[in-house]
Structure 1
Amino acid sequence: MIDFNAGVRSAELVEFLDLFMSQARQKVTDVQKQKDDLGLRTAVFNDLQSKLKDLKRKAEDIAGIGSLSPFQAKQVANSDESVLRVTATNGSETGAHQISVQQVAKPHTVLSNQYTRDGNELSTQFSGAQTFTIVLNGTGHAVNVDITAGATNDVVLDEIAQAINATADLPASASRVRDTDGTARLTISSSETGGANSMNFVDTSFFMGMLSQMGVMNGTEADATTGGYVY
């Protein structure tokens, strides 16, 4: 026997459950919306708080007096920062200034006397072991060079340059330069610019030694044939 009342009660239960779930889902949706609204308000308040703090700092800066006032700040314009960099403080005098750079800093450089490349006066006078010292920043660097007997001036200048370049921790370099087709000279340069990096030379082999005889230690400006300083 079929119980029609039981079927009716089951349908009513399903309808009731659907209504209950629908109402529950609506409540969840409402709560989620409230949560989203609160998150948005929190973000707005945080942004407002940050801007208010920034405004307060700027107001305090503007309230400064004397040299602390931003209205006393000075600006400076430079036509060529590759040559000269300038800054301005609140106490700087206003006005236009012109600075002419006559020469930029260059490393201390010296030249030897001029020698005929295929001559052999250097090896004749200074054959064998020779020692001299290059002093930079108060530190002496001993340079040892072995001059080949009978070698041409071209070769001897190369031997001296190579010995200088091989000296450990020496902030200087040297090379043999051929200033004309038939002549050559020794050039020695500090690795850094500035007066503190100028070179001093000491002939330690004997008095009026090799560097002195070569004109490196002249202390006067080098010319076309005589050694001395270049910069």
Structure 2
Amino acid sequence: MTVLTSAEADNPTRWTLSTRVPDDWVDLSGSVSVEESLGVIRAAFDDVGVEVAAQDIELLRGGIEAWHDISRRQNLVIHGFVYQGAEYQGPTATGTEVFWDVIGTVTEIKQFDGPLSTQEVLRHVLPAKMGFEPNDAYTELFETGIGPAIGMTTEYEMPIEVPGAAEDTEPTTRTVGLATVVAVPPNGGPSLVLAGWSLDPAQRNTLGMLLARIAGPATITPLPAAGRPTNGASAPSSEA
């Protein structure tokens, strides 16, 4: 699958992201239609022999529609999840359950001045924002179509919201596998930021490989100010 999208930036005002994501994941980013996303989810249930009631299908449709709206407002250009049951017998079978959630966006990252490279600065900035120590993460540098990238994987304590819990309830956390990738142009500019979570912390490095495969062929191409955004939004005014 090729992901094409656009969003506002400073100048030029928009860009197009092109990359590859798995063909068999459930896409929730809005880059495919609600009905296509719903069809993939229903097929996944069919594969494991689970019958979904009509009212539950309508709830799923409403949830996907709501998330498409949220992802557009938050500029989430990539959001998909991969599920594989422990009983799966296909060529990628691992004998364990696989549940990965991946999101991605494009944001402006300026080139850092000083003796450290942009990637070395990000090696400290990312853990600080996410709440883990840099030395607790496996780090790897690699090249992408956008520019140099840094990938990090670690175990992560993720807060869990419990529906209906009282306000004074102690926060609940779950240890998950966390993977992040940030690809930045050599001179700074629109950059790709990917993050993923795996329910099994031991799968974090494999998840990191998936993120690296998404980032590897990625390119970000500026569009002229008068061009038509690929997400169907109206083009911004070219007046000063």
Return the structure number with greater helix share.
1
**TM-score w.r.t. structure 1 length?**
0.23
Task: Select the structure of larger CA radius of gyration.
Answer: 1
TM-score norm. by structure 2 comes to 0.22
